[in-house]
Amino acid sequence: MPRRRFQVRGVVQGVGFRPAVYRLALARSLTGVVWNHAQGVTVEAQGTEAKLADFERALREEIPAPARIQSLVVEAMAEVPGEADFRIRVSGQGEAPRPVVPPDLALCEACAAEVDTPAERRHRYPFTNCTRCGPRYTIIEGLPYDRPRTAMKAFPLCPDCAREYADPLDRRFHAQPMACPACGPRLALQAGDGTVRAEGEAALAAAAEALGQGAVLALKGLGGYQLLVDATSAEAVDRLRQRKRREAKPFAVMFPDRTSLLRDCEASPEEDAWLASPEAPILLLRRRSGGAVVAAVAPGNPRLGAFLPNTPLHRLLLASAGRPLVCTSGNLSDEPMAFEDDEARRRLGSLADLFLGHDRPITRPVDDSVLRVDIDGPTMLRRARGFAPLAVPLGLGGPCVLALGAHQKNTVALLKGGELVMSQHLGDLTSLEGSDLLARTVTDLLAFFGARPELLACDLHPDYASTRLAERLAAEWQVPLVRVQHHHAHGAACAAEHGLTGPVLALTWDGTGLGSDGTLWGGEALRLEGAACTRLGHLKPFPLPGGAAAVKQPRRSAAGLLWAVRGAGAPPSALADAFDGAEWAQLQSLLAGGFNSPLTSSLGRLFDAVAALAGLHARGGFEGQAAMALEFAAGERVEAPYGWDFRDGSADPAPLVEGVLADLAAGRDAGFIAARFHAALAELALAWAQQAGLPDVLLSGGCFQNALLTARVQEKLAGAGFRIHRHRAFPPNDGGISLGQAAVAGLTTAGR
């Protein structure tokens, strides 16, 4: 009798793959065995040639989501005489794990139905899950993925759950996080000091009632603590903003169900599919007028970060509350999300009125992913729950590389065996807690995959927490350290995502990053080929009075830009309300003396400057707020572009600035100016692409989070015959920097 061995790699552990294989084999009367091991899953099947061929087809075509096969290798084997059945073997031990780990998955339809059905034994149980849904990366302690190596090892299965766990035909067969009310985690509502106020159903009811009365609730979610308030109450939202120290940055909103979501948001068929997907990210959806969510949730923003309940706990709480809830990370601004119970009470005690928690430990913090669906497909803005830490094959051999990422929106990347695994979004490293989380994540990642880095990669900036950690680890481990310029890493990340080694043109437009010449870059045209990077063009540098202070004060960028274009002088009427006389004089003094006024070619700061001139958020706010306002003001308007002056590879924005000032003097509104500005940037992209003369153009950097800018640039470049590549699976912002660093380091050692 013919026998075949099937070596399967991909996302095939913790997602019901072995039970699915078992059912496919039984349906075809095959004998054999299937087992997990650190490299993936191996199947040995024996039967007729026709049935084996159909089995192989089914493996490729019928395995249900969220399993994903990256490779399937088939080889002939000798017959095993007397084999009577098909079995599932215990997982293998002692092998070096591949970087393939299942991410956390949103509540599936089957489990949701159980939670909603009174006759089911898991009716209203907040921790219901199966092989198709539930916690994965947030509870795994080691590979292979089995219950003794998860946070669920403290919850022995009751007889009913044990029967399900052992039944290959049950969807909970070897579902490692599975539990029920008799044997699983339990819910409790606590005060900030840990005093228990209620448990179980009573805890849910009391939490929902408190939210209806305007309380701030700290909820222990899938990957960490979240802060919740009533999204229909301006008073509750304002209370959360004050406590969280988050003045205007948009909050995400969780809706009880699709029907309530569609009252506030528009959703295309593709957006609908993402909302119901196993990844269930936060989606940036177009807002409807007259919805229930108050404007204070996302002031001045035509989009709303919306998502549906992704765990049974969220589903039950939202149903009990009966309204959309702000659902944001449990932290103060600029700090990472709290995920351990004692830490949460310490850090969130002054923010939350009550804590709705449980006794299932969280192994590592994982925030919600954020995604926007554009005309040409999805744009990943934050890669975390549902996506991290899925591996990406880069086709790069050589040494094991650890890349430490950027200072903001930090991620860590591990390149091992030609595959790259990126950590979940860690956030900014400005706080002590952020730096500590980075160090813990590095330790966790290396231990988890049994990796010993032979090469480290980091940013050029010497004061980044990620750089300092890389320097310390390189010295401790006695391994080389590759320093990768920030914008080179942006471009390399996009190239790696699309499997391009060059030569290509990378337009890397963002806030600021330290350039190889010591100035602050951010409006760059780079030629990439292998590990090499050449600067072909850039925005003509202008000074930033006050340095880092300009990031949150767009008026400073405007003052520096005007100094570069016109020299010293009185502020234009457009900035009359942005400065008093003493402030303007002080900035002029800084600029004249060159004190604390670093030069920058940043396109992000140019956005800020033009927004300030146009009367949009000149004085303050979160980073990117002024640029977002400029994008929103432009809307869908199409106007003639402002001009540029090109000299020696630099693009001088002087004609653009004079055009803006002339339009302001003529009484043009901010929307007209914003539309002309975006059109000018598309012309800049085309000019640099034509200068480079390369057919492939990459778009990377935080500015390409701007949907209008991206669309205008793509339209202009595509019309001229260029092939455009932009980020899909990874963020264009600094969340993708670690990928680029790892790729450059890998290419460097490969001599490419």
Output the pTM of the full model: 0.92
What's the mean pLDDT in 230-252? 95
Domain boundary, last residue among 88, 109, 131: 88
Each residue of 116-145: b (16+ CB within 10 Å) or e? eeeeeebebbbbbbbbbbbbbbbbbbbbbb
3-class secondary-structure state, position 699? strand
Residue 453: pLDDT band with limits 50, 70, 90: very high
**142 within domain boundaries:** no
Q: Mark whether 324 and 393 lie in a shared domain.
A: no
More confident residue, 375 or 720: 720
User: What's the half-sphere exposure (Cβ side, CA atoms, 13 Å) at 259?
Assistant: 3
Task: Identify the pLDDT of residue 594.
Answer: 86
* Domain CATH for 30: 3.30.70.100
Same domain for 487 and 552? no
Is residue 254 in some structural domain?
A: yes
**Is 367 inside any structural domain?**
no
Final residue of a domain: which of 358, 392, 411?
358
Rama region for 188: left / alpha / beta (φ>0; ψ in -120 to 50; rest): beta
Out of 33, 55, 88, a domain closes at 88
Per residue in 151-175, pLDDT (tens digit) is 999 999 999 999 999 988 888 988 9
Rg (CA), the chain: 27
Task: Kindly state the average pLDDT of the residues 232-243.
Answer: 97
CATH number of residue 234's parent domain: 3.90.870.10
- Determine how many CB atoms are found less than 10 A away from the CB of residue 243: 17
Same-domain pairing of 458 and 566: no
Q: d(Cα 648, Cα 373) in Å, to the nearest integer?
A: 38
pLDDT band for position 143 (cuts 50, 70, 90)? confident
709 and 740 belong to one structural domain: no
**Predicted confidence (pLDDT) per residue in 438-452, tens digit:** 999 999 999 888 899
Kindly state whether residue 433 falls inside one of the protein's structural domains. yes
Domains: count for the chain: 4
Of 709, 475, 458, 693, nearest in space to 603 by CA = 709
Whether the pLDDT of residue 752 is over 80: the answer is no
CATH number at residue 684: 3.30.420.40
* pLDDT tens profile 523-551: 999 999 999 999 999 999 999 999 888 88
260-299: string of b/e by CB count within 10 Å (b at 16+)?
Answer: bbbebbebeeebeebbeebbbbbbbbebeeebebbebbbe
Residues near 494 by Cβ (< 8 Å), separated by ≥ 6?
Answer: 506, 698, 699, 700, 725, 726, 727, 732, 736, 740
Q: 482 with 549, same domain?
A: no
Residues 580 and 659 in one domain: yes
User: Residue 485: which CATH number?
Assistant: 3.30.420.360
- For residues 601 and 668, membership in a common domain is answered with yes
182 or 551, higher pLDDT:
182
The answer to whether residues 394 and 483 belong to one domain is yes
Q: What is the mean pLDDT of the chain?
A: 93
Do 615 and 706 fall within a single domain? Answer: yes
CA atoms within 13 A on the CB side of 618: 16
Q: What is the pLDDT of residue 424?
A: 96
**396 shares a domain with 328:** no
pLDDT tens digit string along 692-736? 999 999 999 999 999 999 999 999 999 999 999 999 999 999 999
Q: 487 with 619, same domain?
A: no
Residues 693, 561 share a domain: yes
State the residue range of the domain holding 424.
Answer: 381-498+734-749
**Is residue 166 one of the residues assigned to a domain?**
no
